[in-house]
Amino acid sequence: MINLFKKKSKPEVMQKVPQHVAIIMDGNGRWAKQRGLPRGAGHLAGKERVNDAVEVCLELGIKYLTLYAFSTENWRRPPEEVNYLMNLFHESMAQEIPKLHRNGVRVRFLGLKEGLDASLVAKMAENEKLTAGNERLNLNLAINYGGRAELLIAIKKISEQVQAGAVTIEQLDEAELNKYLFTAGQPDPDLLIKPGGEFRISNFLIWQMAYTEFYFSTVLWPDFGSNEMQKAIAWYSQRERRFGSVKGV
């Protein structure tokens, strides 16, 4: 494994650190089951790995980190698990956001507000306002997020603009659509990390990941610490990204 933290100077591998990393935090439930623990224990252990991911991004100068915390499909899980996760979100905001703020992290929430508890939505807005001036790292937390829902919302908003005469059909292009996405104003992910041994993107950032590099790992998320994060970034640093072009052209 290439140790990205070892030298103060920036070797070649450091020059290819991704600008935006997205992570599907998968495997919490299986991790708990393997240990004979309730699923909530897996989610609690997984929360600690968020701290590791943030720390690695801050250390390497990665500017954007997007974490898939709760999907629009996760409402199908048992009510006790959903309630546990929502309470965990509340607790994490109270405990972790102040630390993130002190470390210069800007926090934003991606997803649908409908269906979420009003107090949680209010806390999201409060924390976004609190951290709005921070610039070391942009941390996106995708809660009640679905890629198809995001695209549908964008299409509806664009349609309203066309009907109002604010935008013409001829003006519609990729850049225009990007303005209506939850990630508006942010670069697309360079690297997707998917722990847990599953090979799918789970309705996550499906427009934004057209040219993202995918790193799949069999390690479950609660075990995906700093070393595993470094492995993923070292792997990315050796990728040749051509975006449909040819090497050397």
Is residue 190 annotated as part of the catalytic site, yes or no? no
Query: Which tokens sit at 246?
Result: 């040819």
Closest CA to 20 of 242, 187, 204: 187
Is residue 26 annotated as part of the catalytic site, yes or no? yes
Q: DSSP of 18-84, one letter per residue?
A: -SEEEEE---HHHHHHHTT--HHHHHHHHHHHHHHHHHHHHHHT--EEEEEEEETTGGGS-HHHHHH
Query: Rounded to an integer, what distance in angstroms lies between the CA atom of residue 215 and that of residue 52?
Result: 17
Which is the catalytic residue, given 74, 134, 178, 203?
Answer: 74
Alpha-carbon radius of gyration of the chain? 19
Alpha helices (H) in 103-195, listed in sequence order: 118-131, 147-163, 174-178
Which is the catalytic residue, given 26, 127, 144, 190?
Answer: 26
- Residues serving a catalytic function are 26, 74
